[in-house]
Structure 1
Amino acid sequence: MHTLKRKSPLRRIVLASAATVSGMVLLLSMKPHSTPGVAVAAPAPSSSASASAGSGESSGSGGPGSSSGSSSPSGSSGSGGSSTTGTKTVTGSSVQTRYGPVQVRITLKNGRITDATAVTYPQDNPRDQQINSYAVPQLNQEVLTAQSANIDTVSGATYTSQGYQQSLQSALDSAKG
């Protein structure tokens, strides 16, 4: 008589348990898919509007040394001479957080912060995108209100907020020096 055909409940229990464990291992080893429709494409930067970066410009793969400490005249069409508006765009250092790098670019006009944009922040998976879609605009607005790196942490985005503050302070330090 075949071993499986005998009426032995213990063998059936062992085989059912082994099949269940194997199925669970296979199920847990699968990686979740990322939603392709959630990815945000960065608009191509135009050469005449480099002083003002939009909040949609964030690719997550921006270089850490891009345009640090660069100055650009605001609204001028390339006429030579010194800039009388005092507009300066500075990119802070890239700060590595638990979920990825954060980097901030600020625009100063006559010593006041007129624009703050996170050019790099964690957005590798849908959860990062969901969190940072509300946290980054809040942080950008906080900077304009506070006019310093002394801004509130966004609840639910602690690591991004801390990285944002450090990169912002780096940009402010670069602008002063």
Structure 2
Amino acid sequence: MHPLRKNHALRRTVLAGAATVCGMVLLLSLKPHTGPTLATAQTTSPSVSGKSPSVSGGSTPSGGASRSTGSTGRRSVTGDTVQTRWGPVRVRVTIADGRLTDVTAVDYPRDNPRDQEINGYALPALRREALSAQSADIDVVSGATYTSTGYRQSLQSALDSAGR
């Protein structure tokens, strides 16, 4: 006869209690999802025509990359506009002394509250990844696959235009 089928209520109680404690420890050790933060500090609003503004004047036709060179060896390059399923994505990079120093999402989906929520956490994560990697070889953010893919493509076109 199996040991748990005997009339040992104490043994079953101890095993059930241990299983419950283990389950609670596992649940409490999971890291909760952080709430969305607004990505407005690093973005600009699009113009009336739907095209995003270019960097320091001058743009190229059809949403191509544009450049700006400062006197300090620091320059900004705006990547191509990438059309995704949920809307256009466009990235501006700043390069100083051959290093990627800033990445800003100039244009991204923001038509509804869900887009704003997703991009509120996705854009800062993509920016951190790009600055850390110093390239467009970055991971896709879970839940923002289309935006992440467009971000990477626009980032790569900006880096290509900058000669990196």
TM > 0.5: yes
User: 1:63-102 deviations in whole A, cap 9, x for unaligned?
Assistant: 25723432242xxxxxxxxx2x310100000000000000
What is residue 163 of structure 1 aligned with on the other side? 150
Give 1:141's aligned amino acid: R
Separation of aligned partners in 2, 1:125 and 1:90: 28
Whether 2:68 is the aligned partner of 1:71: answer: yes
TM-score, normalized by length of structure 2?
Answer: 0.64
Whether 2:52 is the aligned partner of 1:55: answer: no
The question of whether the paired residues in 1 share the 8 Å contact of 2:43 and 2:104 is answered with no
Structure 2 unaligned runs (5+)?
1-37, 56-64
User: 1:123-177 deviations in whole A, cap 9, x for unaligned?
Assistant: 1001000000000011111111000000010000000000000000000011018
> By percentage of residues, which structure has more helix?
2
Give 1:139's aligned amino acid: L
What is residue 117 of structure 1 aligned with on the other side? 104
Q: CA RMSD in A?
A: 2.2
Give 1:108's aligned amino acid: I
What is residue 131 of structure 1 aligned with on the other side? 118
Note closer, same or farther for the CA distance 1:152–1:129 as it changes in structure 2 (3 Å cut).
same
Answer with 1 or 2: which has the greater Rg: 1
User: 1:16-68 deviations in whole A, cap 9, x for unaligned?
Assistant: xxxxxxxxxxxxxxxxxxxxxxxx8x7xxxxxxxxxxx514244875257234
Whether 2:93 is the aligned partner of 1:102: answer: no
Count, aligned residues: 116
| Matched residue SS, 1:106 | strand
Q: Which segments of structure 1 move beyond 4 Å, counting only runs of 4 or more?
A: 58-62
Separation of aligned partners in 2, 1:170 and 1:65: 17
The question of whether the paired residues in 2 share the 8 Å contact of 1:89 and 1:106 is answered with yes
Separation of aligned partners in 2, 1:87 and 1:165: 22
Separation of aligned partners in 1, 2:68 and 2:52: 17
